[in-house]
Amino acid sequence: MCPFRSAEPGATAFQGNAAYQRSILATVPDAMIVIDDHGMILSFSAAAERMFGYAERDVAGRNVNMLMPQPDRQAHDGYMARYLETGVARIIGVGRVTTATRSDGSNFPIELAIGDAITDEGRMFTGFVRDLSERQQSERRLADLQAELAHISRVSAMGSLASALAHELNQPLTAIANYLEGARDLLGNSDAASLAMIREALDEAAAQSLRAGQIVRRLRDFIARGDSEKRVESLRQLVTEASALALTGSGPAAADLEVRLSADCDRVLVDRIQIQQVLLNLIRNAVEAMHRSPRRRIVIRSLSDGHGMVTVIVADSGPGLAPDAQDHLFEPFHTSKDQGMGLGLSICRTIVEAHGGRIWAEPADIGGAAFHFTLTIAADD
Instruction: State residue 140's pLDDT score.
Output: 61
Angstrom distance (rounded) from CA 68 to CA 105: 10
Tens of each residue's pLDDT in the chain, 381 residues? 344 333 344 444 444 456 656 666 666 678 889 999 888 999 898 889 989 999 999 999 999 999 988 777 887 888 788 878 877 666 665 567 778 888 988 888 888 888 888 877 788 888 888 887 766 566 666 666 566 656 665 565 566 566 656 666 776 788 788 888 888 887 877 677 878 888 888 888 887 788 777 767 766 665 555 555 788 999 988 888 777 767 655 554 567 788 888 888 999 999 887 888 889 889 888 888 887 777 788 899 999 988 899 999 999 988 888 776 666 677 765 555 544 445 678 888 888 988 899 999 999 888 889 999 999 998 875
**Which helix (H) or strand (E) covers residue 15, if one does?**
helix 11-16
Residue 287 identity: V
3-state helix vs strand vs coil in the chain, percent to 5: 50, 20, 30
SS3 for 220?
Answer: helix
**Distance between alpha carbon 51 and the CA centroid of its chain, in Å?**
26
Query: According to the model, what pLDDT value does residue 227 have?
Result: 52
C-alpha 19 chain-centroid distance: 43
Q: Are 55 and 38 in contact (CB under 8 A)?
A: no
Contact partners, residue 256, CB within 8 Å, separation at least 6: 72, 98, 99, 296, 297, 298
CA distance 374 to 310: 5
The tally of domains found in the chain comes to 3
Which residues lie below 8 Å from residue 95, measured CB to CB, with a gap of 6+?
111, 112, 113, 114, 259
The CATH number of whichever domain residue 38 belongs to comes to 3.30.450.20
- Give 255's contacts (C-beta < 8 A, 6+ positions apart): 99, 247, 286, 287, 290, 296, 297, 298, 316
> For 246, what's the count of Cα atoms within 13 Å in the CB-facing half-sphere?
27
Asked, as a colleague might, if the bond just before 71 is cis with ω within 30 of 0, I would say yes
Answer for the pair 194, 237: CB distance below 8 angstroms, yes or no: no
Do residues 266 and 161 share a domain? no
The pTM of the whole model exceeds 0.75? no
User: 254 and 365 share a domain?
Assistant: yes
Is residue 278 assigned to a domain? yes
Contact at 8 Å (CB) between 114 and 67?
Answer: no
Print the domain residue range for 179. 136-224
Q: Please indicate, yes or no, if residue 262 is contained in any of the structural domains.
A: yes
- CA-based nearest residue to 321, from 359, 360, 365, 368: 368
| pLDDT score at 11 | 42
Q: Are residues 358 and 244 in the same domain?
A: yes
pLDDT of residue 348: 85
Give whole-number Cα distances, 269 to 237, 246, 346, 377, in Å.
13, 22, 21, 6
Q: What is the pLDDT at residue 13?
A: 44
> What is the pLDDT, as a whole number, of residue 340?
45
Is 4 among the domain residues?
no
Q: Looking at the structure, do residues 350 and 273 belong to the same domain, yes or no?
A: yes
Q: Where does a domain end: 224, 252, 284?
A: 224
Residue 381 in domain: no
DSSP state of 377: B
Among 158, 190, 224, residue at a domain's last position: 224
For residue 67, give the nearest of 82, 161, 56, 118 by alpha carbon: 56
Residues in the chain: 381
Q: Are 112 and 51 in contact (CB under 8 A)?
A: no
Domain boundary among 70, 104, 131: 131
Contacts of 93 (CB under 8 A, 6+ apart): 114, 115
Residue 3 lies inside a defined structural domain of this protein? no
